[in-house]
Structure 1
């Protein structure tokens, strides 16, 4: 089991949830209400921190985080449920893809990526490329949705 430290919380979880919630705004094509944006991001970050403290296997926490993201976005953001669920799964897929690319890059450079033996600050430094990749993919998603009508407005 992987435990989240305070360093991981401040340098990885909080920025990741801010990007995730911003991506939900992009997919729902709703303007950002700064108060609700910060509130929902911080609530989700704190909940993820406590979920990581639970004695559950690595991977189960991701499923719980996905469900909590859907619930928080549904109640705080007033985004329709269909867009909420689709957006959450798309953004978590993009996050997983960026982390996979980062792991392949680090493996290609022969860097030890075993998170159980790495120091928290080293883990955060090794995670910066995946965070940057996630930011870039959300910006590309924004560009695509702004210039093309990819997601029909049926719901």
Structure 2
């Protein structure tokens, strides 16, 4: 069982789901409705909090969370295939950024036995992975927009809409 505290819910889980939902919208190239974005991120944060309290094996909670996120994204209007692919890519990116964060913490000789840390210190030590994820999403967003502008500028003057 991977219990979260209320502090971890507000300092890590909800901000992480705001980033994941935003990343899914960027990767799927779907428009972001702010009301749906905030509502779905908060709902997913609370659902993730309670899924972590379930008496299940490690890793099963991740599968349940992926299914919940895909379901909420489909309800929010993201097409099914895009929702599934973007969610899996976002989980891979988040895992990769957490690996990079652990690598950096180990290089700096910072103790990474998180189960013994207090929740605030745990959230502070894990926040660089969220920052790495945000930087990746911003990079993808600008690459997508650069590609769009390049295609738009290559159209003839009478072909523009």
SS of 1:116's equivalent in the other structure is helix
| C-alpha deviation, 1:55, in angstroms | 1.3
The match for 1:79 is: 78
1:86-105 equivalences in 2 (<5 Å) = 86-105=85-104
Structure 2 Cα separation of the partners of residues 114 and 57 of structure 1: 20
The match for 2:53 is: 53
**Uncovered stretches (5+) of structure 1, i.e. residues with no partner:** 150-155
Q: TM-score, normalised by structure 2?
A: 0.87
Structure 2 Cα separation of the partners of residues 18 and 27 of structure 1: 14
User: Which of structures 1 and 2 has the bigger CA Rg?
Assistant: 2
**Uncovered stretches (5+) of structure 2, i.e. residues with no partner:** 149-161
Q: TM-score, normalised by structure 1?
A: 0.91
1:2–1:116: 8 Å Cα contact kept in structure 2?
no
The match for 1:108 is: 107
SS of 1:124's equivalent in the other structure is helix
Q: Does 1:32 align with 2:32?
A: yes
Q: Which runs of 4+ in 1 moved over 3 A?
A: none
21-30 vs 97-106, which deviates more? 21-30
